[in-house]
Amino acid sequence: MAYTTINKQETFFKTLLYTGNGASSRSLTGVGFQPDWIWIKDRSTGHDHYSFQSPFTTKYGLEPSDTSGERNPQLGSFDSDGFTFSSLDSFYNSNSDNYVSWNWKAGTTSGLSGGTITPTAYSFNATSGFGMYVYDGTGSNANIAHGLGRVPHMVMVKRIDQDGNSWQVYHKNNGANQWIELDSNGAQQSNTNRWNGTAPTSSIFYIGTDSDVNASGGRYIAYVFAPIPGYSRIGAYKGQGGAGGQTPFIYTGFKPSWIMIKKANGTQNWRMFDSARDIDNPMEHQLKADTSDTESSGTAFIDFLSNGFKILVSTDSINGNNGDYIYLCFGQSVVGSNNVPATAR
């Protein structure tokens, strides 16, 4: 069991489903808070993933499944209960297409200090263990303050001032000499030039000299995740391939609501599941973070259980024999609205 100080998961993370209407201007509500990071995918048509991040001076978007830098279309606004589109684009509002929007709250935009690089803009939330930081590269090994007060277990970095740079991912189970790419199905790779061979601390994260994370004069955004007991978990598991009829159970300390999984030591897509697209077990609807593929369904992949998740298949995508799998997971609320912390089971 894991004790949590977050009684309502939906205060910081929420999945929203909607159907596009083809309008050039549209406001969507129901998030329950003002989001700072909005990640959208057209479930019906093969469009790239698209995201908006509040620290950007202009509300340009990025494509998590692509190497493009920041680009139009822009977001109209981040609103108190959702967001507003100010232009029509197939990334997020084609008529009759079904969409999913994953929304994270950050919110603290001042008071950050420390590090050898000072972010030009940022938004972080120490309670939920999430932050975004825009910074200019120096070309020299460096570190950046994150303000989360906990050790981050996952960092994603994207160069935004030009096209052609992949999303670089640090994951604590891969280690500080490894990186893996969000926009690729490739396996983890080894080099110290992404994270300077140094794991994050409770106050800073490190970047090396590679142009994907720190070219002199380049502009970047980093997404930083620290685990919060009872709310989020960043971990790994060993695939069993269904040997002897066995499939892994992965303990998280809470019932998951969203999970992204990647085989680290092999060529496989990043797989995404959530409890909004599948309100009951098993999780059958999957999206791939590194491709523009439409949503697929029909296979029982995972059960979301009260204290973790159970793999149901023996496919190499999430359960190959002796495969090393990494994941990022967020949980469902474990208590009601009375603001009383509870034990997550």
Let me know if residue 28 belongs to a domain: yes
Let me know if residue 3 belongs to a domain: no
Residue 340: per-residue pLDDT = 41
Whether residues 204 and 240 fall in one domain: no
Which residues make Cβ contacts (< 8 Å) with residue 36, sequence separation at least 6?
53, 54, 55, 78, 104, 105, 106, 107, 123, 132
Let me know if residue 85 belongs to a domain: yes
Residue 4: per-residue pLDDT = 61
Whether residues 273 and 324 fall in one domain: yes
Helix intervals (H) in the chain? 211-214, 316-319
8 Å CB contact between 60 and 51: no
Let me know if residue 327 belongs to a domain: yes
Let me know if residue 131 belongs to a domain: yes
Whether residues 322 and 279 fall in one domain: yes
Let me know if residue 188 belongs to a domain: yes
Low-confidence ranges of the chain (pLDDT < 50): 1, 335-345
Q: Which residues pair with 50 in a beta bridge?
A: 40
* Residue whose tokens read 């070309």: 139
Residue 7: per-residue pLDDT = 73
Whether residues 332 and 246 fall in one domain: yes
3-state DSSP percent of the chain in helix, strand and coil, to 5: 5, 40, 55
Let me know if residue 325 belongs to a domain: yes
Distance of alpha carbon 86 from alpha carbon 76, whole angstroms: 5
pLDDT digits (tens, 9 = 90+) for 44-103: 999 999 999 999 988 999 999 999 999 998 899 999 999 999 988 899 999 999 999 999
Distance of alpha carbon 234 from alpha carbon 239, whole angstroms: 16
Residue 36: per-residue pLDDT = 98
> Phi and psi dihedrals of 287, rounded to 5?
-125, 160
Distance of alpha carbon 202 from alpha carbon 44, whole angstroms: 41
Residue 338: per-residue pLDDT = 43
Domain stop point among 225, 241, 276: 225
Residue 334: per-residue pLDDT = 56
Whether residues 208 and 241 fall in one domain: no
Distance of alpha carbon 184 from alpha carbon 269, whole angstroms: 7
Residue 3: per-residue pLDDT = 56
Whether residues 198 and 260 fall in one domain: no
Round the average pLDDT of the chain to a whole number and report it.
94
Count the alpha carbons within 13 Å of 82 in the hemisphere toward its beta carbon.
14
Q: What is the domain count for the chain?
A: 3
Domain with 250, as residue range(s), is 233-344
Domain stop point among 50, 72, 104: 104
Distance of alpha carbon 171 from alpha carbon 176, whole angstroms: 8
Domain stop point among 206, 225, 244: 225
Whether residues 50 and 131 fall in one domain: no
Let me know if residue 38 belongs to a domain: yes
Strands 121-125 and 204-207, how do they pair? unpaired
Residue 329: per-residue pLDDT = 98
DSSP state, 311? Answer: E
Residue 245: per-residue pLDDT = 73
Residue 5: per-residue pLDDT = 65
Whether residues 219 and 241 fall in one domain: no
